[in-house]
Amino acid sequence: MIRNLTFFLLTHFSVGLIVTGLVIPPGEIDRRYFRVLTLLAAGLTILALASLPFGAFQSQSLLSQADGAQFFQQWSYAAFSVFVGCLILWNFINSRYHRLVMGLSCFFGAAGVMAFAIGSMDVIPVLLSNMVLTALNGVSAMVVMGSVLGAMITGHWYLTRPDLSLNPILNSSKLFLYSVFLRVMVVVAGLVVYWNVEGRITPSLLVTGFGFEAIIFWTRVVVGLLIPLIFAFMTWSSAKMASTQSATGILYATIILVLVGEVFARFLSVLTGIAL
């Protein structure tokens, strides 16, 4: 469980961080900013891969869907390895290929996130719609985690470069705001789809019950979704008023809330057997 959680946190922060880099035009901020993003994301992902949450890499499982969860688990290893390769490559290319390589990084990173989400389920969903919802749950977690980290790093850039235009902090704060909305919608969709599904603990019990699991669920909702949504609006408003230090300060607190919320979400997924 610890290795799986470590892998989840490091990879999702990393891929979401590169999504932030993709929405900021390279002409709006210096190249060192993107170098920090790519090297930080690559380093975190390498640490994640070293944790081997699914055991040693087995290339033969990449070709056989009959292996079930192991098929997706091994593909997550492969996709994240290519993701790291693209990030390292970025640091040696001409700036004209910036968007191409960053886009490829996001593509393989997102593929790894979706494969990890499906491969981490106790039972692989039979219905395509359920599998899509599971993958979307992973992607929404990735974007909200990485965008809050990316927005915080962007805000820090104004401490040494106060002459920067407001576009980078506006773009990154809007991405975070939209990502929280997406995360909320995906969680609600998961509750609706799996409301009375047979399992150890149903979403209906989490929402209407009074046990330990219900407390964890509502803590996850308030701390990991509702308060970050409010803080995301505050960050965006501060950025629009050119108050970059205030925006960065809000993001300091928000990243802790998002981290706690997503850790609780993983705990709930283990309890219920479904992605929440």
Contact 20, 155 (CB under 8 A): no
> CA-based angle 248:48:194, to the nearest 5?
80
Predicted TM-score (pTM) of this structure = 0.90
Q: Tell me which H or E stretch contains 49.
A: helix 31-50
Q: Which residues contact 107 (CB under 8 A, 6 or more apart)?
A: none
Q: Of 76, 85, 81, nearest to 54 (Cα)?
A: 76
> CA-based angle 165:37:29, to the nearest 5?
20
**Residue 25 corresponds to which tokens in the numbers above?**
């035009």
Q: Tell me which H or E stretch contains 232.
A: helix 227-240
Q: Of 109, 255, 265, nearest to 176 (Cα)?
A: 255
Predicted local confidence at residue 271, as pLDDT: 75
Q: Domain boundaries in the chain?
A: 2-272
Predicted local confidence at residue 173, as pLDDT: 93
| Rounded Cα gap, residues 206 and 217, in angstroms | 6
Rg of the chain over CA atoms, in angstroms?
A: 19
Contact 272, 203 (CB under 8 A): yes
**Residue 59 corresponds to which tokens in the numbers above?**
């290339």
Q: What topology does CATH give the domain 2-272?
A: Formate dehydrogenase/DMSO reductase fold (1.20.1630)
Inter-CA distances, 6 with 46, 95, 263, Å: 12, 33, 10
Predicted local confidence at residue 69, as pLDDT: 75
The tens place of each residue's pLDDT in the chain, 276 residues long, gives: 788 889 999 999 999 999 999 999 888 888 899 999 999 999 999 999 998 887 777 766 666 665 567 888 888 999 999 999 999 999 998 888 888 999 999 999 999 999 998 888 765 555 666 788 888 999 999 999 999 999 999 998 988 887 888 889 999 999 999 999 999 999 998 888 877 666 667 777 777 777 788 888 899 999 999 999 999 999 999 988 888 888 889 999 999 999 999 999 988 887 777 777
The identity of residue 58, as a single letter, is Q
Q: Of 24, 43, 47, 36, nearest to 91 (Cα)?
A: 36
